[in-house]
Structure 1
């Protein structure tokens, strides 16, 4: 919640020409019958090839339900858009992980009020103490 309130947003990710070529190749390899779209099962295989995990039923349902109901699967452009969003989310999560690690000076896996206070004194020395206390206490 703190990051969204602070205005942090996922970075944008744009596939380079070589990355786009690889994504198109994965799409074509998973579209075995050359239908021009990926079925639910084709989509799962493509995600495994690109990200190294099998998407959950919930993730697959979410992606498939967001598609045009008149289509039988995910088109190349929809697939490329899915990958872009996924990559942007990975960048955002990595950024959050780096920030957390910087705050967690004692490598405990959690942050104390003291950790917050020290970090904010370095990055935002003029920030009122009450703001730090309010952020730390958010549920």
Structure 2
């Protein structure tokens, strides 16, 4: 015979019940940076929402920069297929496709990487400013 458990069973996180978290209501109750830091360290719903926002911003940035690389480098073979005369052009005795794909692509990738790092750091700084904002 099984023993009776007086406590209700623990509900898993994905139990179908949702809790709506409104940041404006939380900030009206205690408008301090300490509350926001506490929300993050204790991993409450508000803290999770803030971190999810940062992760979403970083993911969106990564996708945008990936599209820039895909269009920038992926468009070159398409250009050479559409305009074969460009593909047969030589510069200093070297075919233009070799120069663009083999040499010019590296500075392009470095520039995109530099831009990504700057924008990712800006996202993180915005997040830090939000967490550490002073009391109004």
**Shared fold, TM over 0.5:** no
- Of Structure 1 and Structure 2, which has the larger fraction of its residues in helix? 2
Structure with bigger RCO (C-alpha 8 Å, 6+ apart):
2
Q: Which structure: larger Rg?
A: 2
